DNA sequence: TTGTACGCGTTATCAC
DNA sequence: GTGATAACGCGTACAA
């Protein structure tokens, strides 16, 4: 079989340097010493021919791709920028490459995953981008996985990195209650199957309970962690519902923006009439008017940590089965505080 | 040489299905017909063994990676989410994978590019993530490249995708002049070596010229396309400068946010005292208070288009040397309009 | 310290 | 329509 190949191979370098391919390989991978004289000639030849090792050939020979994968549900939300950024930093520092792909768990079942053991050494899985079966399947084959914002399937021990949701939410809602005297607090929930969303709802309920405020199902609407949805639902709520309220806590900052907009358009003043607080502390939250009181989620750190976990996994180190990163309440103006 | 290999190969499938590896390969790649009987047995064997073709082996044999690369300067700015999203959509649709990496042109020269012909079939290069030499170098080897938000080096014809900056800026600034009677318009410029930034400045100057407003160097400050920088510079301007002004045009929305904040903190009302307009139309711009008048940059479309260009390049189709995507003025409240 | 030769998993060529 | 087998470019056990 004859195949044209415009690229320069290790063989060309070997010929140019007057040594064998094995020596070239050794020099490149530092897998053994070569004499200074030879090293110099190799260096020169590489420079001369502009040689770059062919990744695929390397992968095939070493059984390692030096690539890690990241599976996301989508890339639209501003939330993903810091996440990917954190991951990419670690990956690059380790001399690896990053393959990103989107995939929703409800995709047609017969679809091949774009990322897996066939093209990466390990992967980071965001929340519900994968079905539980698929996660288990990959994990059972010994493929290194780290979960983000999602807990390990029952009975398995797959490392996961997530953040403290409930307690921070509870404290923030309590802030609305005790420091601002709010008692009728509307909760804007996220997707029902999202773990973060669930914990935040529990935190909200906990706060009510702590202060003997009866929970009112009327005071919960669905924002789906999407600004537009939250906006629409809020508008609808304002039109339809007779239920009065004096504060809004949203499971995410993105929704909070939509909520504030709906409120302002309806003539409410934030925070004078209605206190508003969110969760995430997106980069823009501090710049809103009024600046948004929220919970800071260390999203870039989540990415960074998950990547580090994955590399620990790859190098056979011990890995914490679950890492819960601390969150922090950020008091700004939208709750009613003067800061 | 003995090597453990937990993964199932095409040979295993061949044995299981009772045919040769060649037939399996043909079936998988649809490169030739196989009898229905055989097809069924293969299908079964693949299912049974959970076979997935090894990417690296494929790459080595076909000389194609089915991966395209994206080189960015960073991933922090909200601007990148839609860009990557658009690219990813096309890439996935084509059955390719996406490798992303960050790289700043001023990195140490001896550093190996994380992405190149050694691990991708082609790449998309964002603005100044690469030095001109490197671009030329890659291109000279026949490696498919598409440039984003950056023009082709002189004398070369590398496809590029960018947006219309100058005219839209000019019209928007003219809107401030003619519809709102502004004459002392502060310009917040971006990085000096950024082409978008340069064109927007030209548009700003053009508008002044069109209306016989003398340009005043005092009325230009540097925001570097970064919110924090713009904020600081604005604060400094307000403290130091005696120059009066009645409007601010920023080269990007991110800076506009910082500007508005500085203005409001200093006691100015936007837009009553000062009109503000930006450029980009970030997803959040409509939700600011006041909603930001700006120019819509079709960032996701830029990504999508660049990816399509690249695939045209890969398939040997004719490719437009330069694609200039139209932008559109978005009038909201921050300029003074009632909408 | 260096060279030879084989294998990594797949595709593609040639024969049947 | 199917099978045998030589590449693809590199790493590495083994020999020298």
Q: What is the pLDDT of residue B6?
A: 60
Domain of A143 in residue numbering reads as 65-163+299-325
For testing contact with chain A, the best of B22, B66, B75, B98 (most A CBs within 10 A): B75
Task: Return the residue matching tokens 């996660």.
Answer: A135
- A103 and A187, same domain (yes or no): no
- B91 and B196, same domain (yes or no): no
- A159 and A303, same domain (yes or no): yes
- A113 and A123, same domain (yes or no): yes
Q: What is the tens place of the pLDDT at every residue in B192-237?
A: 989 999 999 999 999 999 999 999 999 999 999 999 999 999 999 9
- B75 and B182, same domain (yes or no): no
- C-beta atoms of A67 and B142 within 8 A: no
User: Chains A and B: how many Cβ contacts under 8 Å?
Assistant: 137
Q: How far apart are CA A115 and CA A103, in angstroms?
A: 10
State whether the beta carbon of A55 lies below 7 angstroms from any atom of strand D: no
A232 touches B at CB < 8 Å? no
Q: What is the pLDDT of residue A109?
A: 64
State whether the beta carbon of A60 lies below 7 angstroms from any atom of strand C: yes
- A56 and A92, same domain (yes or no): no
Tell me which residues of chain A, numbers 117 to 136, contact chain B at a CB-CB cutoff of 8 Å: 117-119
Sequence-distant (≥ 6) Cβ neighbours of residue A111 within 8 angstroms: none
Nucleotide nearest to B9 (CA to C1'): C9
Q: Give kind and range of the element (H or E) at residue A67.
A: strand A67-72
| Omega within 30 of 0 (cis) for the link into A271 | yes
- C-beta atoms of A289 and B287 within 8 A: no
- C-beta atoms of B287 and A116 within 8 A: no
State whether the beta carbon of A33 lies below 7 angstroms from any atom of strand C: yes
Q: How far apart are CA A183 and CA A212, in angstroms?
A: 10
pTM: predicted TM-score of the whole model, two decimal places: 0.93
Sequence-distant (≥ 6) Cβ neighbours of residue A140 within 8 angstroms: none
Q: What single string gives the DSSP state of each residue in B257-322?
A: HHHHHHHHHTT--TTTT-EEE-SB--TTGGGSSSPPBEEE--HHHHHHHHHHHHHHHHTT----SE
Q: What is the pLDDT of residue B109?
A: 65
Q: Which of B85, B141, B227 sits opposite A287 (nearest CB)?
A: B227
Q: Separation of CA A211 and C1' D16 in angstroms?
A: 83
- A189 and A293, same domain (yes or no): yes
For testing contact with chain A, the best of B67, B287, B334 (most A CBs within 10 A): B287
Q: Sort out which chain B residues have CB atoms less than 8 A from A83's CB and list them.
A: none
In the predicted model, residues of chain B with pLDDT beneath 70 are: 1-6, 109-110
The count of residues in chain A is 339
Alpha-helical regions (H) of chain A: 10-17, 21-29, 36-49, 55-62, 80-93, 132-140, 166-180, 195-210, 227-240, 253-265, 299-314
Q: What is the pLDDT of residue A7?
A: 82
Q: What is the CATH number of the domain that holds B181?
A: 3.40.50.2300
Number of domains, chain B: 3
Q: Give kind and range of the element (H or E) at residue B253.
A: helix B253-265
Q: Sort out which chain B residues have CB atoms less than 8 A from A88's CB and list them.
A: 75, 100-102
Phi-psi group of A108: left, alpha or beta (phi > 0 → left; psi -120 to 50 → alpha; rest → beta)? beta
Tell me which residues of chain A, numbers 58 to 77, contact chain B at a CB-CB cutoff of 8 Å: 59-60, 63, 65, 67, 74-77
Rounded to a whole number of angstroms, the distance from the CA of A59 to the nearest CA of chain B is: 6
Q: What single string gives the DSSP state of each residue in B42-97?
A: HHHHHHHHT----HHHHHHHHS---EEEEEES-S-STTHHHHHHHHHHHHHHTT-E
- A156 and A183, same domain (yes or no): no
Q: How far apart are CA B58 and CA B77, in angstroms?
A: 36
- C-beta atoms of A118 and B78 within 8 A: no
- C-beta atoms of A52 and B116 within 8 A: yes
Q: What is the CATH number of the domain that holds A37?
A: 1.10.260.40
- A92 and A190, same domain (yes or no): no
Q: In the numeric block, which tokens belong to residue A330?
A: 């950020």
Which chain B residue lies closest to A140 (C-alpha atoms)?
B6
Nucleotide nearest to A23 (CA to C1'): C2
Angle, in degrees to the nearest 10, between helices B166-180 and B195-210: 40
For testing contact with chain B, the best of A50, A100, A129 (most B CBs within 10 A): A100
Contact B206, B170 (CB under 8 A): yes
- A178 and A231, same domain (yes or no): yes
| DSSP-based three-state secondary structure for B106 | coil
In the predicted model, residues of chain A with pLDDT beneath 50 are: 1-5
Among protein residues, the one whose C-alpha sits closest to the C1' atom of C2 is A23
Q: What is the pLDDT of residue A289?
A: 83
Contact B168, B329 (CB under 8 A): yes
Q: What is the pLDDT of residue B2?
A: 29
Which chain B residue lies closest to A57 (C-alpha atoms)?
B60
Q: How far apart are CA B50 and CA A181, in angstroms?
A: 60
Tell me which residues of chain B, numbers 261 to 300, contact chain A at a CB-CB cutoff of 8 Å: 261, 264, 283-284, 287-289
- B114 and B204, same domain (yes or no): no
Provide the CA A119 distance to its chain's centre, in angstroms.
Answer: 21
Q: Of A60, A79, A103, which residue is a domain's last?
A: A60
B254 φ/ψ angles, rounded to the nearest 5 degrees: -55, -45
- B175 and B280, same domain (yes or no): yes
Q: What is the pLDDT of residue A327?
A: 98
- C-beta atoms of B99 and A54 within 8 A: no
């Amino acid at each position: 079989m004859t195949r044209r190949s415009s690229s320069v191979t290790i063989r060309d370098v070997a010929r140019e340097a007057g040594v064998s391919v094995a020596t070239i390989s050794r020099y490149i991978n530092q897998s053994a010493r070569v004499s200074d004289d030879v090293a110099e000639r190799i260096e020169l030849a590489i420079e001369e021919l502009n040689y770059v090792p062919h990744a695929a050939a390397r992968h095939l020979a070493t059984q390692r791709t030096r690539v890690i994968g990241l599976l996301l549900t989508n890339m639209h939300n501003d939330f993903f920028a810091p996440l990917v950024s954190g991951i990419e930093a670690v990956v690059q520092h380790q001399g690896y490459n990053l393959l990103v792909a989107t995939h929703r768990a409800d995709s047609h079942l017969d679809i091949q995953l774009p990322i897996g053991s066939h093209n990466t050494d390990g992967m980071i899985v965001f929340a519900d981008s994968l079905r539980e079966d698929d996660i288990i399947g990959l994990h059972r084959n010994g493929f290194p996985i780290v979960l983000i914002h999602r807990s390990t399937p029952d009975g398995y021990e797959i490392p996961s990195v997530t953040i403290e949701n409930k307690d921070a939410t509870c404290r923030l809602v309590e802030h609305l209650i005790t420091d601002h005297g709010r008692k009728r607090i509307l909760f804007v929930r996220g997707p029902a199957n999202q773990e973060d969303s669930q914990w935040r709802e529990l935190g909200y309920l906990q706060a009510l309970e702590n202060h003997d405020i009866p929970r009112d199902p009327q005071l919960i609407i669905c924002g789906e962690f999407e600004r537009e949805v939250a906006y629409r639902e809020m508008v609808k709520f304002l039109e339809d519902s007779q239920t009065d309220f004096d504060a809004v806590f949203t499971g995410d900052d993105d929704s909070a923006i939509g909520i504030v907009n709906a409120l302002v358009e309806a003539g409410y003043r934030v925070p004078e009439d209605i206190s508003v607080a969110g969760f995430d502390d997106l980069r823009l939250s501090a710049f809103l008017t009024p600046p948004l009181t929220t919970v800071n989620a260390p999203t870039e750190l989540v990415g960074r940590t998950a990547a580090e976990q994955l590399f620990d996994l790859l190098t056979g180190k011990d890995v914490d089965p679950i890492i819960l990163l601390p969150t922090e309440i950020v008091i700004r103006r939208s709750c009613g505080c003067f800061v």
